[in-house]
């Protein structure tokens, strides 16, 4: 088996030398356990803070396997919960094989992962990214039909899902993305009413005002920093900010930029809340069922960017912070 471990703590943008490829004998399952061979593994922006410090979860220690979601096949089993040949998903980490007793592992239900819903959707639009979008918008955003939703990183896995959920709920939806190609994707395939290319704007607050002259009701924030400030200046009375991620801050080597504009929270009676999606785990199945139905009905789309090769996991991860990705980035362990 092979696994990628943390070799040293990154200073700013991670480098491939911050990770170490470790080989070991393939483990055998004990009584009540199964051996799962990884097929697809995720790379996640939210992993970056834990490479350096504690967050809502403890920081990785040097030598720890990098954690991530994965889809795999059960290749040997001594557990009735994990039958041989079954596809399963769970927090496998950057490893080619994992032994599990079934805790935290879900055998994929063929009735759900059918039609347009691929098995990899279990670690994408029906996994943590999609569920973050669902509960962030529907619970913290408190949307009402006719309101206006602004989403940053709108071409990413979380942002694209939040934007489309908003559209299904009757909102006017506006995305922020980097580059013309991503904005074409946001307004074309995702069906947004407008998209702002932040790279082409010298005054992002003015650009938001141009496409939403009456203001924004909900800002779904995946980026933080200057984009968050620009959105705050355009929020309506009783506007809501949902904090899903802060990618602009993850590789900062100095003092975080933070929020520059606080007075609107008083004058506009704004609220701002963040979420850790695992707090909603008891409600995951209801959200997954609704989103799967929308996918098969052609009302919700998702894009996956598949990179071949287990050895490319660090490269794929680092690329998340270079504006390279459309949708959910996954690594296929063996092409």
- Summarize pLDDT for 303-324 with one digit per residue, the tens: 999 999 999 999 999 999 988 7
Q: Which two tokens stand for residue 45?
A: 């922006």
Its pTM stands at 0.90
Phi first, then psi: what are they for 159, rounded to 5°? Answer: -60, -45
Residues with pLDDT less than 50, the chain: none
Nearest to 96 by CA among 1, 231, 233: 1
User: Is 128-277 assigned to CATH 2.60.40.10?
Assistant: no
CA–CA gap between residue 94 and residue 74 (Å, rounded): 17
Widest distance between CA atoms in the chain = 63
- Summarize pLDDT for 8-45 with one digit per residue, the tens: 999 999 999 999 999 999 999 999 999 999 999 999 99
- Summarize pLDDT for 196-234 with one digit per residue, the tens: 999 999 999 999 999 999 999 999 999 999 999 999 999
Are 1 and 23 in contact by the 8 Å Cβ rule? The answer is yes
User: Domain-by-domain residue ranges, the chain?
Assistant: 2-114+303-332, 128-277
Nearest to 133 by CA among 166, 112, 162: 162
Task: Give the sign of the dihedral formed by CA 71, CA 76, CA 80, CA 85.
Answer: positive
> Which residue(s) pair with 148 in the sheet?
172
Question: What is the third-level CATH fold of 2-114+303-332?
Answer: Quinone Oxidoreductase; Chain A, domain 1 (3.90.180)
Burial (CB < 10 A; 0-12, 13-18, 19+), residue 26, is: middle
* Whole-number pLDDT of residue 335: 59
Contacts with 223 (C-beta within 8 Å, 6 or more apart), sequence order: 152, 153, 176, 245, 246, 247, 248
Contacts with 20 (C-beta within 8 Å, 6 or more apart), sequence order: 4, 5, 6, 7
- DSSP secondary structure, 168-212, as one string: HTT-EEEEEESSHHHHHHHHTTS--SEEEEGGG-S-HHHHHHHH-
CA–CA gap between residue 268 and residue 80 (Å, rounded): 56
């Amino acid at each position: 088996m092979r696994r990628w471990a943390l070799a040293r703590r990154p200073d700013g943008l991670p480098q491939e030398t911050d990770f170490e490829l470790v080989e070991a004998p393939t483990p055998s399952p004990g009584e009540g356990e199964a051996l799962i061979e990884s097929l697809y593994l995720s790379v996640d922006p939210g992993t970056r803070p834990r490479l350096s410090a504690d967050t809502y979860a403890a920081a990785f220690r040097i030598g720890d396997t990098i954690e991530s979601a994965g889809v795999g096949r059960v290749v040997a089993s001594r557990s009735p919960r994990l039958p041989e040949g079954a596809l399963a998903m769970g927090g496998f980490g950057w490893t080619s094989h994992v032994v599990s007793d079934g805790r935290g592992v879900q055998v994929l239900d063929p009735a759900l992962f059918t039609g347009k819903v691929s098995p990899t959707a279990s670690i994408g639009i029906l996994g943590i990214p999609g569920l973050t979008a669902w509960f962030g918008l529907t619970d913290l955003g408190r949307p009402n039909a006719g309101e206006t939703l602004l989403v940053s990183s709108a071409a990413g896995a979380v942002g694209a899902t939040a934007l489309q959920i908003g559209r299904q709920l009757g909102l006017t939806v506006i995305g922020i993305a980097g580059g013309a190609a991503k904005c074409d994707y946001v307004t074309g395939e995702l069906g947004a009413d407008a998209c702002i290319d932040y790279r082409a704007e010298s005054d992002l607050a003015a650009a938001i005002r141009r496409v939403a002259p009456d203001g924004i009701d909900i800002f779904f924030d995946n980026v933080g920093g200057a984009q968050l400030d620009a959105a705050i200046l355009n929020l309506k009375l009783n506007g809501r900010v949902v904090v899903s991620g802060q990618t602009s801050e993850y590789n900062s080597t100095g003092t975080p930029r933070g929020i520059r504009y606080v007075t609107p929270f008083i004058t506009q009676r704004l609220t701002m809340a963040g979420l850790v999606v695992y707090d909603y785990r008891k409600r995951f199945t209801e959200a997954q069922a609704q989103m799967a139905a929308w996918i098969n009905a052609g009302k919700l789309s998702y894009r996956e960017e598949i990179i071949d090769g287990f050895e490319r996991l660090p490269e794929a991860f680092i690329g998340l912070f270079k504006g390279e990705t459309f949708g959910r980035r996954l690594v296929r362990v063996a092409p």
